[in-house]
Amino acid sequence: MQRLIDAYFNSVRAFRKLAASEKAFQQELMLLALALPLGWFVSISWRGYALLIGAVLLLIMVEVLNTGIEAACDAFSREFNVDIQLAKDCGSLAVLISVLIVAGVWGIAIIERITGLPI
């Protein structure tokens, strides 16, 4: 049980650090704050709402992992290194893919809401 408690406090520390200093994380938290009420009006079911919010949470999770990769790479070396560049670029690509997932999920939900037809 102590491990779970320690993990919780570690997570809270990371959340505070990212919320205070990482612009992308701050923007995604704002997106989540907007998505929570907006998703209620866009979705046509509880499952749809969960999918809309889940997609935004997935984006936030990938951003957190990307930030962790960047921090680990920077801790190793700040000098240019092809392998470090690849690691950072892959993290950035993962965030981009997550953004596309969010856009697709929300786009489909909006089309469903406008047309009244489930896609």
Q: Is 70 annotated as a binding residue?
A: yes
Q: What is the pTM of this model?
A: 0.92
Q: Is 21 annotated as a binding residue?
A: no
Q: H-helix or E-strand containing 75? A: helix 46-76
The answer to whether residues 60 and 32 touch, using CB atoms and an 8 Å cutoff, is yes
Q: How large a percentage of the chain has pLDDT more than 70?
A: 99
The answer to whether residues 85 and 77 touch, using CB atoms and an 8 Å cutoff, is no
Q: Is 41 annotated as a binding residue?
A: no
pLDDT at 106: 98
In this structure, what token pair is assigned to residue 33?
């704050």
Tell me the pLDDT tens digit for each residue of 23-38.
Answer: 999 999 999 999 999 9
Residues annotated catalytic, as ranges: 63
CA distance 99 to 119: 20
Q: Is 89 annotated as a binding residue?
A: yes
pLDDT at residue 118 greater than cutoff 80: no
